[in-house]
Structure 1
Amino acid sequence: MDPPDSGAESAVADGGGADDKERRYSAPALEKGLDILEFLSECRDPQSLQQIGDGVGRTKGEIFRMVSVLAERGYIERTEGDDRFRVTDRLFRLGLNRPVNRSLVEIALPTMNAFAESTGYACHLAVPSGTQIAVIARVESTSHIGFTVRIGYRQPLILTGSGHCLMAFMSARRRHRLYEELRRDDPWIDLDALTQTLDAVRAAGHVRRPSGISEAVVDLSHPIVDGHEGGAVAALTCPYLRMRNTPQEPEAILEALAQAARRISDALSLD
């Protein structure tokens, strides 16, 4: 039998310890749902009800109704042929509907299309999401061959050109908070080495580095700077592959990318 599962908030009595002061209210049902979503978002493969329960420290009976509701609302989905579950992109799509992201995409897309038309190369727009990048817009190559990533693509900031660009040009305050998150994720991370890398990126004004994900791809990236924010809010990135039939040097692509990033930044600051 399921234990009583109330969605109502319960107040924590005053006069408790430090944890009580930091957390005055609890919503058990909401917390259970968030635990399930966070667990599934970190899993590469779909998970059974038993695996989800083990992952969030609850029994199958405790999570059964919550899993059913999350599936009905479209936040998770059951895979065909078995009773395993995985997260959908519903939460990501909700995030894209935030006015700041919607405005950024609307402003950037015409310039991104112009970049692809003039260079023949694909490009994408990435924003920080915790310690990862999230791609919120893309334009495919106008040639028959190209390399692109899908909207919703996520990777650790430290592995990607977009991530290095975002970290290098974001405000010092945001970078300090990010370093704390990176340290929590990996206590052994060499932040001194990362700082040297980001200093070099800032000195160059852009990112040009071999992809940390794909062989033969070179990440070319320029920051999208919001004057109101005081630092980079996104990275405009081109996955560069040298084409034999229509060779273009990376320097030429970088210059076109820089012009596109400046136009987007200027329009964003006026918005």
Structure 2
Amino acid sequence: MSEEESDRYRAPALDKGLDILELLAGVDGGLTQAEIAKRLDRSPNEFYRMLDRLVRRGYVTRIDGDRFSLTLKLFGLAQRHAPVRRLVSFAVPLMRELAEASRQANQLVVFDRGNPVVIAQQEAPGYWGISIRVGSRISLFDTGSGHVLLAFRSQVERERMIAENSADGKDAGLAPDFLARLDLIRSRGYEMMPSAQTAGVINLSAPVLSADGTAIAALTVPYITLINTPDAPDISTTLHLISQTTRNLSELAGAGLSDDEV
């Protein structure tokens, strides 16, 4: 679409509302009307009516009197998206079995608008485990899930995913050593890497594949060594359990869920 056509179909009020939702999604503790206006480089008066409507429709709530914060309504709408629900419905029983067998937590991740997003999470069955909230958007370039989602895509799709990410991420994604890493992951079928976020954690990630071999999701175990659990599987056995689980999930999801649906 040309710039002229884009201007012709502009919807300023809609853009303003989406700007507010996207801004509030990235902050904790909410923002005042003045803070929202400052961050969006607008006059505070421009947002009064829009904030009022968002509050009345249940997308935004007031906290501490004068601060605005997102509600869970958008999250609820996302969970009603049929393909994601179907994928999660296939995955949850297998993720529960994996957690019991490995004694570790695990999470299911898909790519959405520039970032991997956690769509399902299974807690570890014991006292200790690393978990991440469902709905969290994580890094494409320094997580096992992100690596797997990139590795098991075509070159064209990989470039599109990288382009949807940040400018800094785009540079990192095109680096020769990073592309070589993706080739290695694809050839061996999994990623195993120290967590870039938490010391002592090893991310073990494997792809859920569609019928054509494209990754529709990544299943990741943030592996921690359980010193007081002598019967806990070691890292090699856990990696085997993950691979077995993703093969089973690929058979279930690949036949009933196309990559275009996710």
> Structure 2-normalised TM-score?
0.89
Q: Taking structure 1 as reference, are residues 43 and 269 closer, same or farther at Cα in structure 2, changes over 3 Å only? A: same
1:186, distance to aligned residue in structure 2 (A): 4.9
2:216 maps to which residue?
233
2:120 to 128, 137, 142: 137
1:248, distance to aligned residue in structure 2 (A): 2.6
1:190, distance to aligned residue in structure 2 (A): 5.6
Task: Determine helix, strand or coil for the equivalent of 2:178.
Answer: helix
CA distance in 2, matches of 1:99, 1:27: 28
Query: Residues 41-91 of structure 1, C-alpha deviation per residue, up to 9 Å, x if partnerless?
Result: 233552211111122232111101111221222322322x24122333432
Kindly indicate whether the alpha-carbon contact (under 8 Å) linking 2:163 and 2:170 is maintained by their aligned counterparts in 1: no
Kindly indicate whether the alpha-carbon contact (under 8 Å) linking 1:225 and 1:234 is maintained by their aligned counterparts in 2: yes
1:109 is the counterpart of 2:96: no
CA distance in 1, matches of 2:169, 2:249: 34
Task: Determine helix, strand or coil for the equivalent of 1:145.
Answer: coil
Q: Taking structure 1 as reference, are residues 258 and 136 closer, same or farther at Cα in structure 2, changes over 3 Å only? A: same
State percent identity of aligned pairs. Answer: 35
CA distance in 1, matches of 2:81, 2:170: 32
5+ residue gaps, structure 1, are: 1-16
1:19, distance to aligned residue in structure 2 (A): 1.0
2:48 maps to which residue?
64
CA distance in 1, matches of 2:169, 2:100: 41
5+ residue gaps, structure 2, are: 257-262
CA distance in 2, matches of 1:236, 1:34: 31
1:29, distance to aligned residue in structure 2 (A): 1.4
AA aligned to 2:82 is: P
Task: Determine helix, strand or coil for the equivalent of 1:155.
Answer: coil
1:47 is the counterpart of 2:65: no
Q: Taking structure 1 as reference, are residues 186 and 255 closer, same or farther at Cα in structure 2, changes over 3 Å only? A: closer
Calculate the aligned-residue CA RMSD, in Å.
Answer: 2.1
1:206 maps to which residue?
190
Kindly indicate whether the alpha-carbon contact (under 8 Å) linking 1:126 and 1:234 is maintained by their aligned counterparts in 2: yes
Kindly indicate whether the alpha-carbon contact (under 8 Å) linking 1:171 and 1:232 is maintained by their aligned counterparts in 2: no
Total equivalences in the alignment: 253
CA distance in 1, matches of 2:122, 2:169: 33
CA distance in 1, matches of 2:246, 2:172: 30
CA distance in 1, matches of 2:122, 2:17: 35
Greater Cα radius of gyration, structure 1 or 2: 1
Q: Taking structure 1 as reference, are residues 185 and 51 closer, same or farther at Cα in structure 2, changes over 3 Å only? A: farther
1:111, distance to aligned residue in structure 2 (A): 0.8
Structure-to-structure mapping, 1:136-155, within 5 angstroms: 136-155=119-138
1:6 maps to which residue?
none
Query: Residues 179-238 of structure 1, C-alpha deviation per residue, up to 9 Å, x if partnerless?
Result: 22236355653622321221221122101001111111110111011226x511111111
2:154 maps to which residue?
171
Query: Residues 146-173 of structure 1, C-alpha deviation per residue, up to 9 Å, x if partnerless?
Result: 2211211222211211111111113333
AA aligned to 2:242 is: L
2:102 maps to which residue?
119
CA distance in 2, matches of 1:157, 1:44: 22
Query: Residues 92-150 of structure 1, C-alpha deviation per residue, up to 9 Å, x if partnerless?
Result: 33222111101000011111111112222111101112222211111111112222112
Q: Taking structure 1 as reference, are residues 57 and 99 closer, same or farther at Cα in structure 2, changes over 3 Å only? A: same
